[in-house]
Amino acid sequence: MKLPSSITLCEVGLRDGLQLVGALLHRAHVGRVEVRLRYGLQNETYILNTEQKLEMLRGLIDAKFPVIEVGSFMHPRAVPQMANTDEVFKAIGDVPGVELRALIPNLRGIQRAIDCGCKKVKLNVSASRQHNLKNLNMTPEESVAGFASCVDAAVENGIAISGSISMPFASPWEGRITEEDVDAIIEAYLKVGITEISLSDTSGMAVPNQVYNLCCHIKEKYPQATWWLHFHNTRGLAMANIMAAMEAGMDRFDSSFGGLGGCPFVPGAAGNISTEDVLHLCEESGIATGIDITKVIELSRKLKELLNHDMDSYILRAGRSCDLIQSNQD
CA angle in degrees (0–180, nearest 5) for 146-225-221? 105
d(CA 191, CA 193): 5
DSSP one-letter code for 272: B
Helix (H, G, I), strand (E, B) or coil at 11: strand
Mode of pairing for the β-strands spanning 120-126 and 196-201:
unpaired
d(CA 281, CA 120): 28
Residue 62 class from Cβ within 10 Å (0-12 exposed, 13-18 middle, 19+ buried)?
exposed
Residue 145 and residue 190 in contact, taking contact as beta carbons nearer than 8 Å: no
263 tagged catalytic: yes
> How far lies 73's CA from each of 83, 116, 140, 163, 182, in Å?
8, 11, 21, 15, 26
Q: Which H or E run includes 136?
A: helix 129-136
Q: Which H or E run includes 129?
A: helix 129-136
Mode of pairing for the β-strands spanning 8-11 and 67-72:
parallel
Residue 114 class from Cβ within 10 Å (0-12 exposed, 13-18 middle, 19+ buried)?
middle
Mode of pairing for the β-strands spanning 226-231 and 196-201:
parallel
The backbone torsions φ and ψ at residue 161, rounded to the nearest 5 degrees and listed phi first, read -140, 140
Of 216, 263, 282, 322, the active-site residue reads 263
In the chain the first and final C-alpha atoms are separated, in Å, by 34
Catalytic residues: 263
